[in-house]
Amino acid sequence: MSIEDWSLLRSVLAVSRHRGLAGAAKTLGVNQATISRQLAKAEASVGLRFFDRLSTGMQPTRAGLAAIEAAEKIEASILTLDTSLAGFDTGASGMVRLSIPLSIMEHGLADDIAAFRDAYPEIHLEISSDDGLVSLGERSADVAIRAQDKPASGLWGRKLATMEYQFYGSARLCEEWSDALAGRDPGASMPMIQSAGTPPSALDEFKKAFPEARTVVACARLDEYTPLLRRGVGFGLSPCFIASAYPELRMVERARTTRTKALWALLHADLMDTPRFRLLVDFLAQRYAERAPLFATPRHDQPMDASGGDI
């Protein structure tokens, strides 16, 4: 007996990558019962067990490892073919899967997408909001917007903006800690919040100005971070274009930083000449270039003292 159905091997591969049925089902867009049936059918077709069900997850057997290796080779071949065929597309129509960070959708990008749809109504967008890694090589997205120093090998992209960062706190929090902000209380225990994307070196920069500062809240998700910053839970590092959208936030002048990060629109290098992908990347690059000053440190933004005036 043999496995002749790629969908069965794809399920085996997904189970191995996620060490269980739940993650595999989410990745493939089906329910756990379907994955369980697919796995049972694959094992029955060869009369061998592919996984041991352990309390720590599903562990591949020797037969399972052989099946997984074969599945990876088939997957790579299919992806290569898929990318090659997409590269032959010469029309400005069809589907584009766009992956964007959670933190920027509501800060101008939604308007960009609306304008793009008006300009190119035959190009349909499928959008996923995610700050995590996305594999353009595996075609989990066609175009990805990401903040990083430079594109990885095999990717092509255009830099949308250079994002400058500063430390911010709410007006109420700045009032509460006005003496420390003015340098009159060097031993103040300034509260800080940080997200999963806040580098340790950034926290060290804040502590150069406020040595006794301490983290009071840590967030796993970036979409949890800005609301906490706005509510005055603590001081934190933020892209200036996001913080500037909220009038209740004040920049911490004593902790001014030169930290920057590039924002890119990326796609697989083999797809850079495919019209619908290239049109989206070029369109976004033009739109971002028109509002480049928004990503720089505001020159007028000053922290407030306890009386409500500028320091």
Mean pLDDT by groups of 10 residues along the chain of 311 residues: 73 88 86 90 88 86 88 74 55 82 80 92 86 53 86 85 95 96 92 86 91 91 86 95 93 94 89 86 92 85 38 32
Residue 217 half-sphere exposure, CB side, CA atoms within 13 Å?
16
Q: Cβ atoms within 10 A of the Cβ of 177, count?
A: 21
pTM for this model (two decimals): 0.66
**pLDDT at residue 265, rounded to an integer:** 92
CB-based contact 94:276 (threshold 8 Å): yes
Residue with tokens 């950034």: 202
How high is the pLDDT of residue 85? Answer: 54
Q: What is the pLDDT of residue 147?
A: 86
d(CA 172, CA 141): 41
How high is the pLDDT of residue 285? 92
Query: How are beta strands 123-129 and 94-100 bridged, if at all?
Result: parallel
Pairing state between β 214-219 and 123-129: unpaired
Q: What is the pLDDT of residue 114?
A: 92
Amino acid identity, residue 243?
A
* 131 neighbors 263 (Cβ within 8 angstroms): no
> What's the pLDDT at 234?
96
Q: Give dist(CA 107, CA 242) in Å, integer.
A: 7
pLDDT at 88: 52
pLDDT in the model for residue 308: 35
Q: DSSP assignment, residue 151? A: P
